[in-house]
Amino acid sequence: MLSYTFKKTSILIKRTFHKSRILQIALITVLWFIAQEISLLTRMPIPGGVIGLVLVLALLYFDLLSIRSLALGAEWFLAEMLLFFIPAVPAVLNHQEFFGWTGLKILAIIIVGTMIVIIGTAIVVDFSFYKLEKQPQPENKQ
């Protein structure tokens, strides 16, 4: 009887989790928090977010966590990601020296450098894709 009740409750919890975006967001945040603690305790130079990512991949791989109890929450985090970056940008106000010649130089380095990286990486990966990989599937072509 007791085990029956336990089973029923666990199914109920699972179902609620699969439907609720807020619970999933909370779960992802808790997992990140645990990973952050692991990162601090072991003094690894790897940020908590990445340890959390590997942790979740392992949990999914070993079937300890179903993808349905994270998918909605993850979707939200990925869709609203830009918001989390925005508070860092007004930091330029703390650096008066950037509103001038130095700022323009830095901007130029970032723009030209990023263009070089985008174009260079794209060309090398495209080349390697057609030279090294055995069977480029039709759906990978555009």
Please calculate the CA angle 12-18-24 and round it to the nearest 5 degrees. 115
Distance CA 100, CA 70 (A): 46
**Whose CA is closest to 43, among 31, 51, 54?**
51
C-alpha torsion angle, residues 36, 39, 43, 44 (rounded to 10): -140
Nearer of residues 1 and 41 to other proteins, judged by Cβ: 41
Whether the CA torsion 44, 49, 55, 57 is positive or negative: it is negative
Structure tokens at 138: 């039709």
Hey, how many other C-beta atoms are within 10 angstroms of the C-beta on 103? 14
Give the nearest distance from C-beta 74 to other proteins in angstroms: 4
Distance CA 36, CA 90 (A): 26
Give the nearest distance from C-beta 10 to other proteins in angstroms: 22
Give the nearest distance from C-beta 97 to other proteins in angstroms: 9
Give the nearest distance from C-beta 135 to other proteins in angstroms: 9
Nearer of residues 8 and 68 to other proteins, judged by Cβ: 68
Nearer of residues 13 and 118 to other proteins, judged by Cβ: 118
Nearer of residues 12 and 40 to other proteins, judged by Cβ: 40
Nearer of residues 12 and 92 to other proteins, judged by Cβ: 92
Give the nearest distance from C-beta 13 to other proteins in angstroms: 20
